[in-house]
Amino acid sequence: MELTLPKTEVFLSSFKNLYDENFKPRDPKSTKLDINRYYIPDIEKIENGIVGSLIYNYVVRHIMKGAKTDPEFDDKIQYIKGSRKVNFTLINKKDLLIPIYFISIELNGETYALKVNNEKTIQFLNFEDAVEFKNWILYTIKNIKENENLIISNNNIAFANNSISSKIILENIDKVAIEIANNR
């Protein structure tokens, strides 16, 4: 059996050298950013999950007379033939959801995702990676001047096109969160 699903493209981030061997956060200049393209199921195009059909033929040997005796030669039999089609759900739609995590900040009722060069949202496949990067950002942001940008691997890392300063982030540190964007 071969199964082809509609797909959508996502870009997932990975960071290297966030912490040294003593788990002390490293300077952004020594940190590395990789962004990789992946394809995941596009659940918006899958209405009811993955549904299959099973068609089978059968033959039933029905004894009409002589069933109470051991020898079969005195049995009167009838063969009942038929076929049947059964529909079933192979994979539920909810089971196709792939949790993708991103870091956000909520200010004045608006939610802003952390982005690379104000283009791609920084997204993670693992919750642990998102937590690790969030903790590193919150530690590192303290050492960035209000008018400076956080640069990793020659990429600008910021909320809302740099309009949210490090000072605003520190004042609203409790509003920096990790969110889930399923198959986004």
Q: How far apart are CA 39 and CA 61, in angstroms?
A: 51
Annotated domain spans of the chain: 7-47+95-180, 54-91
Task: Annotate 5-20 with DSSP letters as a single string.
Answer: --EEEEEEEEEE-SB-
Radius of gyration of the chain (CA): 29
Closest-CA residue to 81 (of 57, 103, 109, 102):
57
Q: Tell me how far apart the alpha carbons of residues 80 and 69 are, in angstroms, rounded to a whole number.
A: 22
pLDDT at 48: 83
- Say whether pLDDT at 159 is over 70: yes
pTM given for the model: 0.75
Tens of pLDDT, residues 106-151:
998 899 999 999 888 999 999 999 999 999 999 998 888 877 888 9
Greater model confidence, 51 or 57:
57
